[in-house]
């Protein structure tokens, strides 16, 4: 499939990029690694007048430590994240998430910013224009029907990013910059929960950094992903877990985040409440995994049925809690 016509913009500084975003507001699309947006351009899901590459921006990549936090520039590739000892030692689940995205050639060029800000997906929407035009346009395309749910009033296309659940489990924050200002929000707040417009980022804002507080004490984390093949597969359901233990082995903090079951990753607070204040125990882990199941409401709009993906949320949440607890306990001896 050919790309639609557009004018290419290649700023070399952040300020130039922000100015171009104001000048062409509403008519411009950003390309970082391009592994998500190029397909959407080819499928005519987006047809901007201008496409701006972030590839030439000075100082837009790198991982550094600053005041008790790890700061990852938005243009950092998943490969750099996978190979960073700072990330794999302190943030195992983030490293696992990056290592499970697509396949190595994608990881080499895909960026953390692009991974976070990828659009939601749906079997009925992520198709060529020819296929989409064969049926009435759905809500996400500006039409009046949902192809996935008869009579559906809301779009429930699925957010399938691998990194967001783990970043949320680690309480990460996102820095959004625009000409003349910036704001910092939690990664969880980036998501609107609405399939049609899933991200809380304005079209004059650039994601510049992701900041992850380095946890204190003894902790563990794990990311688990349901996919049909071992490579080139978006998650069909996922779970990311962070737990920390007191010196006496009691769970002090626990965050369970599930992904790919709706338009946004879900922080399952009920699951955390079953774990916090307890000693690692099978029954509590089961209860937490059941809470994740109740929070998951996938529908039949990906390659596996929603009912199956929902059941697998329990399995993957349990695995993630068990692995995170095991790592925390090993670190506690
Ligand atoms: C075959 C295949 C398999 C894949 N498998 C997976 C998978 O398993 N898991 C997964 O999570 N993803 C998967 N992807 C999707 C995609 O490759 C990754 O999400 C990748 O990390 C996107 O990063 P990118 O830099 O290429 O993003 P791009 O395609 O460049 O951008 C993605 C979106 O983010 C916006 N954007 C990018 N950077 C910024 C910024 N700094 N500020 C503001 N907006 C920005 C772009 O405008 C665009 O809308 C797959 C893609 C393919 C083609
Ligand atoms: S969930 Fe419905 S409205 Fe949303 S993209 Fe799929 S078919 Fe379209």
Domain with CATH 3.30.465.10 in the chain: 63-117+158-213
Tell the CATH topology of 1-60.
3.30.43
In the reported structure, the alpha carbon of residue 244 is separated from the centroid of ligand 1 by a whole-number distance in angstroms of 31
pLDDT of 159 strictly over 90 = yes
In the reported structure, the alpha carbon of residue 125 is separated from the centroid of ligand 2 by a whole-number distance in angstroms of 6
What pLDDT, in 10s, does the model give residues 69-125?
Answer: 999 999 999 999 999 999 999 999 999 999 999 999 999 999 999 999 999 999 999
Q: Report how far residue 321's alpha carbon sits from residue 133's, in angstroms, rounded to the nearest whole number.
A: 44
**Rounded (to 5) percent helix, strand, coil in the chain:** 35, 25, 45
Per the CB < 8 A criterion, the answer to whether 23 and 46 are in contact is no
Q: Is 101 in the pocket of ligand 1 (CB under 6 A)?
A: yes
Q: How does the average pLDDT of the chain come out, rounded?
A: 96
Q: Report how far residue 269's alpha carbon sits from residue 292's, in angstroms, rounded to the nearest whole number.
A: 9
* Residue 231 pLDDT class (50, 70, 90 cuts): confident
In the reported structure, the alpha carbon of residue 141 is separated from the centroid of ligand 1 by a whole-number distance in angstroms of 20
Helix H or strand E segment including 244: strand 237-245
Per the CB < 8 A criterion, the answer to whether 261 and 296 are in contact is yes
pLDDT at 230: 85
ipTM of the complex: 0.99
Q: Is 232 in the pocket of ligand 1 (CB under 6 A)?
A: yes
Q: Provide, rounded to the nearest whole percent, the portion of the chain with pLDDT above 70.
A: 100
Task: State the DSSP string of 50-93.
Answer: EEEE-TT-TT---EEEETTEEEEETT-BHHHHHH-HHHHHH-HH
Q: Relative to the alpha carbon of 176, which ligand is closest?
A: 1
Q: What are phi and psi of 49, to 5 degrees?
A: -75, -30
Q: Which residues lie closer than 8 Å to 129 by C-beta, 6 or more apart? A: 43, 44
Atom nearest to 36 CA in ligand 1: 29
pLDDT at 208: 98
Q: Which residues lie closer than 8 Å to 146 by C-beta, 6 or more apart? A: 138, 139, 152, 153, 154, 155, 156
The ligand 2 site (C-beta within 6 Å) comprises: 122, 124-125, 138-140, 146-148, 152, 155-157, 195, 301
What pLDDT, in 10s, does the model give residues 269-318?
Answer: 999 999 999 998 999 999 999 999 999 999 999 999 999 999 999 999 99
Residue nearest to atom 4 of ligand 2 (CA): 155
- Selection from 260, 136, 128 nearest residue 198 by Cα: 260
pLDDT at 333: 72
Residue nearest to atom 8 of ligand 2 (CA): 138
Domain with CATH 3.30.43.10 in the chain: 1-60
* Chain Cα centroid distance, residue 320: 17
Q: Please tell me whether residue 9 adopts helix, strand or coil conformation.
A: strand
CATH 3.30.750.80 fits domain 63-117+158-213: no
How many residues are present in the chain?
Answer: 333
Q: Report how far residue 108's alpha carbon sits from residue 118's, in angstroms, rounded to the nearest whole number.
A: 17
Domain with CATH 3.30.390.50 in the chain: 218-331
In the reported structure, the alpha carbon of residue 61 is separated from the centroid of ligand 1 by a whole-number distance in angstroms of 15
* Residue 331 pLDDT class (50, 70, 90 cuts): confident
In the reported structure, the alpha carbon of residue 158 is separated from the centroid of ligand 2 by a whole-number distance in angstroms of 9
CATH 3.40.640.10 fits domain 218-331: no
Q: For the sheet containing 50-53, what is the strand order?
A: 7-9, 50-53, 28-31
pLDDT at 1: 82
Pocket test for ligand 2, best of 147, 149, 158, 262 (most atoms within 8 A of CB): 147
Atom nearest to 232 CA in ligand 1: 3
């Amino acid at each position: 499939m050919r790309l639609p016509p557009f004018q290419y913009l290649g700023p070399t500084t952040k300020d130039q990029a922000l100015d171009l975003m104001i000048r062409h507001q509403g008519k411009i699309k950003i390309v970082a690694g391009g592994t998500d947006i190029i397909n959407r351009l080819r499928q005519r899901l987006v047809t901007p007048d201008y496409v701006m590459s972030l590839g030439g921006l000075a100082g837009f990549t790198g991982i550094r430590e600053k005041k008790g936090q790890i700061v990852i520039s938005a243009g950092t590739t998943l490969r750099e994240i996978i190979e960073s000892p700072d990330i794999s030692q302190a943030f195992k689940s983030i490293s696992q998430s990056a290592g499970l995205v697509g396949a190595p050639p994608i990881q080499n060029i895909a960026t953390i910013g692009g991974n976070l800000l990828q659009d939601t997906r749906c079997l009925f929407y992520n198709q060529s224009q020819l296929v989409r035009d064969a049926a009435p346009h759905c809500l996400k395309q500006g039409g009046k029907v949902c192809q996935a749910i008869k009579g559906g009033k809301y779009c429930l296309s699925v957010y399938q990013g691998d990194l967001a659940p783990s970043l949320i489990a680690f309480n990460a924050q996102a820095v959004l910059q625009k000409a003349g200002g910036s704001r910092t929000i939690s990664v969880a707040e980036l998501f609107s929960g609405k399939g049609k417009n899933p991200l809380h980022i304005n079209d004059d804002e650039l994601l510049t950094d992701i900041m992850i507080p380095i946890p204190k004490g003894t902790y563990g984390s794990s990311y688990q992903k349901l996919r049909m093949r071992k490579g080139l597969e978006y998650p069909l359901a996922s779970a990311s877990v962070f737990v920390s233990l007191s010196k006496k082995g009691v769970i002090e903090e626990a965050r369970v985040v599930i992904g790919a079951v709706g338009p946004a990753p879900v922080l399952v607070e009920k699951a955390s409440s079953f774990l916090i204040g307890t000693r690692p125990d099978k029954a509590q882990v089961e209860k937490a995994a059941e809470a994740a199941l109740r929070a998951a409401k996938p529908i039949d709009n990906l390659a596996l049925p929603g009912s199956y993906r929902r059941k697998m949320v329990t399995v993957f949440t349990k695995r993630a809690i068990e692995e995170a607890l095991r790592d925390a306990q090993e670190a506690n001896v």
